[in-house]
Amino acid sequence: MSNTFGHLFRVTTWGESHGDAVGVVVDGCPPRIRIDLDDVQRELDRRRPGQSEITTQRRESDRAEILSGVFDGLTLGTPILIGVWNEDQRSKDYEHMRAKFRPSHADYTYQAKYGIRNWKGGGRASARETVGRVAAGAIARKVLAQEHGVEIVGYVKQVWTLAADVDPDTVTAAEVESNIVRCPDPDAAPRMIDRIKEARKDGDSLGGVVEAVARNVPPGLGEPVFDKLEAELGRGVLSLPACKGFEIGSGFGGVTMTGSQHNDPFYNDQGRIRTRTNRSGGVQGGISNGENIIIRAAFKPTATILRPQETVDVEGNPTTLEGRGRHDPCVLPRAVPMVEAMMALVLMDHTLRQRTQAG
Amino acid sequence: MSNTFGHLFRVTTWGESHGDAVGVVVDGCPPRIRIDLDDVQRELDRRRPGQSEITTQRRESDRAEILSGVFDGLTLGTPILIGVWNEDQRSKDYEHMRAKFRPSHADYTYQAKYGIRNWKGGGRASARETVGRVAAGAIARKVLAQEHGVEIVGYVKQVWTLAADVDPDTVTAAEVESNIVRCPDPDAAPRMIDRIKEARKDGDSLGGVVEAVARNVPPGLGEPVFDKLEAELGRGVLSLPACKGFEIGSGFGGVTMTGSQHNDPFYNDQGRIRTRTNRSGGVQGGISNGENIIIRAAFKPTATILRPQETVDVEGNPTTLEGRGRHDPCVLPRAVPMVEAMMALVLMDHTLRQRTQAG
Amino acid sequence: MSNTFGHLFRVTTWGESHGDAVGVVVDGCPPRIRIDLDDVQRELDRRRPGQSEITTQRRESDRAEILSGVFDGLTLGTPILIGVWNEDQRSKDYEHMRAKFRPSHADYTYQAKYGIRNWKGGGRASARETVGRVAAGAIARKVLAQEHGVEIVGYVKQVWTLAADVDPDTVTAAEVESNIVRCPDPDAAPRMIDRIKEARKDGDSLGGVVEAVARNVPPGLGEPVFDKLEAELGRGVLSLPACKGFEIGSGFGGVTMTGSQHNDPFYNDQGRIRTRTNRSGGVQGGISNGENIIIRAAFKPTATILRPQETVDVEGNPTTLEGRGRHDPCVLPRAVPMVEAMMALVLMDHTLRQRTQAG
Amino acid sequence: MSNTFGHLFRVTTWGESHGDAVGVVVDGCPPRIRIDLDDVQRELDRRRPGQSEITTQRRESDRAEILSGVFDGLTLGTPILIGVWNEDQRSKDYEHMRAKFRPSHADYTYQAKYGIRNWKGGGRASARETVGRVAAGAIARKVLAQEHGVEIVGYVKQVWTLAADVDPDTVTAAEVESNIVRCPDPDAAPRMIDRIKEARKDGDSLGGVVEAVARNVPPGLGEPVFDKLEAELGRGVLSLPACKGFEIGSGFGGVTMTGSQHNDPFYNDQGRIRTRTNRSGGVQGGISNGENIIIRAAFKPTATILRPQETVDVEGNPTTLEGRGRHDPCVLPRAVPMVEAMMALVLMDHTLRQRTQAG
């Protein structure tokens, strides 16, 4: 449960942000898939702190090692262990966190639940836990792309009040990677970057929205009741740190339409059944219909800021938390590979599940 | 997987909308809890079709029977089977669905996945499947209320463009039940009802938003990584038919704030650690912090409408679907007990899970 | 967990022996399989009390009803609910059990675990719980036979000290059903029957061994570590009431051989890799090798006897339990379909799991 | 599934015998338990190859590292990762295995299942996989002993035809460790050792039986249907390499008794309900009754021998496998910590599960 995601493509992450290492065990990956360490490393580099001037400056090289499950470059069908050693463990940066609960962080809830916490950083609540997710997601993406032709692209759709105009049906990964904020709208991107720099200078932080699309997904993925594809995608994305909302297709905006405006008419496109509009976001009744799957995730502004905040200490006494050290003014650029990873994990799991449902 | 929800309080629903019966098996309910059939029936009556002039007029009495797991009025700790016999199976109403795929329904995706479907109604994709969820949710609510003092209240927050003004911290179940649209805002409710009647007359349908609050939840529920409380709640709610979006606390709206505006300051309220604001929605780092848990679910307008629509038949030929029979102009009033049920199932499951984490 | 068996072909049994009904939900059955109620009923009749003079005389017709999951005779891929109404609930026969713990029954342990029990009969610990397993097993056998050509045959190998001589590679179901003790050895069967009649007259009971074989199982079923086929078969069989031991292939007897005597040499049988001997019992390293899978299950003598026994009452006071009512002098003939059912459930589950492991 | 054991105390092992490392992730361990690396290392040393002259001479120091989940010597409630680097990877010893299937090994079945295998040693089928189990089991034993007073002792009960006389109610760990064969019967032990030395000289191998007892287990552990304690223990033990049989209490021997001989009378022992005999082996109806839990596991003679054997190569051609390199003449002494570990994992899991069943 807790630290495992997926039923057939099962991903178990491990490691605290300021322990020795973080990583993942991937169980259930089909055998004889060619896995290149570079595929994993490329995604980890997109998730890595310190990759640009608008992310946290924590210094981690995040070099991945694969310790099991791959033999002569091919998967064995056995568990794949990937580990990344932690390097930048400036505990002194965190000494002030030992005694005080950071507002809107997991410090207090962890302590309430477990009666103990690794106060050197966020432990399992840290975004560092997502190293394992992104590594596992890289494997899932490789299998999905190579074996099934599925392509996943995520991007920053909004930062603070600045929204981008992006066509999910045509956007490319190269466009996303063309700037450090990972927003493929050339007008919005520079304004987002400027606003993030301003927030950094203020010691403040910004939230936003990541949108992601999966293209070339075959009809039939997903299960009709509790494991609807949107429910699984939602669970995966909402389990990312700082995520407060999820929607698919028309989402919250769709509630202002009537049924006759909202329904997606079917038509026959040269032998393939398609829909003229895609307000369903590629999923109907919990099952993919072959159209592009489009989701959005809302991320609140990062909780760590460098401004004084009202809080209590571990004994419950009122106190002020003085911001210090490094902070991530906007997690959105790094959240893109995280959202893509969760989407890949869900689609991979359901690709395997679908194999068990053939008559 | 597929038809089961929960890890320790495990709910498995069964039954097609036009089969003999629908129902649920609840496994993992603690023993020696007093269960009253009336508690279950009350919730089923709130979910029942035909309960008012603004819901579908399908006639189902939805009388529940408990066939196992309860002895002399007390739970045994064994599986509780609850069944409801289907009554109103006017298959002829559905004959036109045999050959044509209804737009934005699960007809096509089911057929694509399984190569077979019960075309008499939506089968498992029908809202009828939620009978089992609501029955199980009623048991969970009873245990949560009786053993833990947790109270869950849901209500219609928005229909189409009509939004209500409701204070989640004080709203009562009686206020919700005071009108047929289940909206506790006395100004908005009549306008919503009128709009739904209009949609019914038009043969059209409307979507909206359900908001729900859980009060008196202790700190410590939820798990820090994949099974964050918001991820579990999101999965549960997004698995309801027609749900396209989920948010907790500040949700999508929170992204336009800065961190210093958004963070919830801690303070000591006569020995209890509380937060001054509740933009977190009662959950921090995936774990409850003791504040009210507040969620919202977006429901698209119901797919079944009584107007002609473009579609294809099962051979893929272009055709027009002529609406006929009965339709539900707005699922929102009936969605309220469904959302409450999913919230109860998640909180019940995590209440049991929390017992395994004590040191 | 508790009341569910299997990962992809998931079987959840429900119902107390003296509640309203018992039954099962089968989730994960592939779609478009022809299911005949007779297939289910035939197996239930083999499990049924009162079927012959050497089993318990409790009168149950055990008529199965399928309430969901099958449409026009074909599986839908949705949960299959099968129920059997309880008829013979002579609670007065059990009144004496209310206050006293029956030795070697589950009365005391249930009470210790749950603090409550349905004292009218054994509740979930009763052999009546296996109605659901046998019904689900019948479906699994049908799929295995029809889609994969797998044949499962079980039989009584030993009663008390009376052992039978049976060749698992050639024994037929007709031979097993040719006598009421379900032992296909024509010499041993009448002696077993006589011994059981004697035990019945004595108010005593007998144990024994069931052996079962699965033929035409393809190589590759089973998983290499915790879900080894022998571990899964062992778990399934050991979860049957009164089962105290399990072995596969050479089992406990094999420990007196040396490796050079025990190893099964491989040879090429017209293009198919086979083993000359089958001490492995069809499984090597947890994975089927294509040879017949042969297992044995030890059943202790039934705990219910009609002789006075030392025990304590629910307050812990010493007392004597006077046997009365009906008893089952030997569960072995009825255990045969139970063992076959568990074998079928495991093989069906792993047949689906194997589909997810293709490269 | 595959590589994970347990529901609440979840153990996932990873690593091939000739990959870089082997290890385990333990998820669900309660927080604030003092874990000493020495506790883990002690058990690994008992499992280690080369520990005495009667085991395999493969040289592995098997030094454990804990990379996550423990902070200042206390568990955090987060996943505990334990790794052991492989050292003695003499691939050339295994070169002959590349092309030929070793009889009664998993070589052929792995290849049939996955279409690929790490032919350098047994991969996941190797006893080396049990490093992770024994490490996890050490943690479980620590929690069980420290928090619940449960004591687990295993020992060699039989080697080949040589059976030992041991009283499970009084045997001590010190007696077990007093000789290299781990048999606490001072008469049988030297004869077993001599017989194993003889087998080693012959290039042959021997099987045997491990018996294990858990003392001071409270009543109420285990679940009444599929997850009966004997079913879970059986699954765990039968998933160990080379295990072909499992029994609890009277086991296969009990079938020759009548019910009146076999039933365990209850009596009141100064306020505690006990049984006069323990043919149930501490479990009734799948639930512990407070008496000692006694199990036995049959291990076949190790498949690797140093004598020529008939087999086929990977193309299916008949050939002879010439034994060479090192072999383990008798796995029994090293199987003792493995059986203890599986027993500990099952009891730990059910200790947590029992917490969720209180009323």
For residue A16, give how far its alpha carbon lies from the nearest alpha carbon of chain D (Å): 6
DSSP one-letter code for A328: -
Residues from chain A contacting residue D32 (CB–CB below 8 Å): 114-116
Burial-class residue B267 by CB neighbours within 10 Å (0-12, 13-18, 19+).
middle
Residues in a beta bridge with B65: B83
| Residues of chain D with C-beta less than 8 angstroms from the C-beta of C356 | none
- Identify all chain A residues contacting C32, using CB atoms and an 8 Å cutoff: 359
Name chain D's partners: 3 or more CB pairs within 8 A.
Answer: A, B, C
**Would the pLDDT of A10 be above 80?**
yes
Binned at pLDDT 50, 70 and 90, residue C90 comes out as low
Whether pLDDT at C123 is above 80: yes
* Token pair in block for residue A180: 């450090």
For an interface test with C, give the residue of B78, B86, B89, B131 to mutate (most C CBs within 10 A): B78
Render pLDDT for A259-294 as a digit per residue (tens, 0 to 9): 999 999 999 999 999 999 999 999 999 999 999 999
For chain C, what is the mean pLDDT?
94
Total domains, chain B: 1
Residue B260 touches partner A, C-beta closer than 8 Å = yes
Q: Which residues of B touch A2 (CB under 8 A)?
A: 223-227
D276-288: average pLDDT:
98
Q: What is the rounded average pLDDT of the residues C16-37?
A: 94
Percent of chain C with pLDDT over 90: 84
Put simply, the answer to whether C224 touches A359 (Cβ < 8 Å) is no
How far apart are the CA of D234 and the nearest CA of chain C, in angstroms? 6
pLDDT at residue D147 greater than cutoff 60: yes
What is the reported pLDDT for D2? 87
> What residues of chain A, 227 to 246, have a C-beta less than 8 Å from chain B?
227-228, 230-232, 234-236, 238-239, 241, 243-246
pLDDT at C257: 98
CA distances (Å), origin B286, targets A105, A231, B221, B259, B280:
10, 17, 8, 18, 10
Q: Minimal Cα–Cα distance from C1 to chain B, Å?
A: 8
Which tokens hold the place of D122? Answer: 């047994």
What is the domain range of residue B283? 93-138+148-355
Kindly determine whether residue B113 and residue C68, on different chains, have CB atoms separated by under 8 Å. Answer: no
D355–chain B Cβ distance below 8 A for any pair: yes
Restricting to B residues 63-102, those with a Cβ less than 8 Å away from any Cβ of D are: 77-78
Distance from CA of C22 to the nearest CA of A (A): 24
- Alpha-carbon gap: D186 to the closest alpha carbon of chain C (Å): 21
How many cross-chain Cβ pairs, A to C, lie less than 8 Å apart?
35
Confidence of residue C48 (pLDDT cuts 50, 70, 90): very high
pLDDT in tens, B145-200: 999 999 999 999 999 999 999 999 999 999 999 999 999 999 999 999 999 999 99
Q: Lowest-pLDDT range, A314-328, B281-295, C247-261?
A: A314-328
Question: SS3 for chain C, per residue?
Answer: CCCEECCCCEEEEECCCCCCEEEEEEECCCCCCECCHHHHHHHHHHHCCCCCCCCCCCCCCCCEEEEECEECCEECCCCEEEEEECCCCCHHHHHHHCCECCCCCCHHHHHHHHCCCCCCCCHHHCHHHHHHHHHHHHHHHHHHHHHHCCEEEEEEEEECCEECCCCCCCCCHHHHHCCCCCCCCCCHHHHHHHHHHHHHHHCCCECEEEEEEEECCCCCCCCCCCCCHHHHHHHHHHCCCCEEEEEECCHHHHHHCEHHHHCCCEEEECCEEEECCCCCCCEECCEECCCCEEEEEEECCCCCCCCCEEEEECCCCEEEECCCCCCCCECHHHHHHHHHHHHHHHHHHHHHHHHCCCC
Contacts with C222 (C-beta within 8 Å, 6 or more apart), sequence order: C228, C229, C230, C232, C283, C286, C287, C288, C350, D109, D113
pLDDT, average across residues D212-235: 97
Give the model's pLDDT for residue D98.
81
**pLDDT at residue A179 above 80?**
yes
Residue A99's pLDDT is 86
Compute the distance between CA of residue D300 and CA of residue D322 in angstroms, rounded to an integer. Answer: 21
| Residue B203 near chain C (CB below 8 Å) | no
CA distance D240 to D295: 14
State pTM to two decimals: 0.97
Q: Do A32 and D3 lie within an 8 Å CB cutoff?
A: no
**Beta strand ranges found along chain B (DSSP E):** 4-5, 10-14, 21-27, 64-68, 70-71, 74-75, 80-85, 151-159, 162-163, 208-215, 243-248, 266-269, 272-275, 283-284, 287-288, 293-299, 309-312, 318-321
pLDDT at D136 over 80: yes
pLDDT of residue A59: 76
The CATH number assigned to the domain holding D241 equals: 3.60.150.10
pLDDT of A159 > 90? The answer is yes
ipTM of the complex: 0.97
Strand pairing of A266-269 and C70-71?
A: unpaired
Question: Could you tell me the pLDDT band of residue D303, with boundaries at 50, 70 and 90?
Answer: very high
Of A3, A226, A243, which has the smallest distance from its Cβ to B239's Cβ?
A: A226
Q: Is B187 exposed, middle or buried (0-12, 13-18, 19+ CB in 10 A)?
A: exposed
- Contact between D67 and A20 using a beta-carbon 8 Å cutoff: yes
Q: Answer with the residue of higher pLDDT: A2 or A130.
A: A130
Best probe of the D interface among A116, A120, A131, A353, by most D CBs < 10 A, is A116
pLDDT for residue B35: 93
Residue of D nearest to B350 (CA): D356
Q: Cβ–Cβ of A352/C353 closer than 8 Å? A: no
Average pLDDT over chain B reads 94
Nearest CA in chain C to A33: C359
Q: Do C30 and A359 touch (CB under 8 A)?
A: yes
Residue B248 has pLDDT above 60, yes or no: yes
Q: Is B16 on the interface with A (CB under 8 A)?
A: no
b/e per residue, B290-328, with b = 16+ CB within 10 A? Answer: bbbbbbbbbbbbbbbbbbebebbeeeeeebebebebbbb
pLDDT of residue A50: 85
pLDDT at C171: 98
Chain A: touching chains (3 or more CB pairs < 8 Å) = B, C, D
**C208 in contact with D at a CB cutoff of 8 Å?**
yes
Report d(CA B36, CA B31) in Å as an integer: 14
Cα of D27 to nearest chain C Cα, Å: 16
CB < 8 Å to D78, chain B: 224
What confidence tens digit (pLDDT) does each residue in D253-279 have?
999 999 999 999 999 999 999 999 999
Lowest mean pLDDT among B98-107, C87-96, D22-31, D167-176: C87-96
Give C-chain residues touching B116 at CB under 8 angstroms.
31-32, 71, 74, 76-77
Residues in chain B: 359
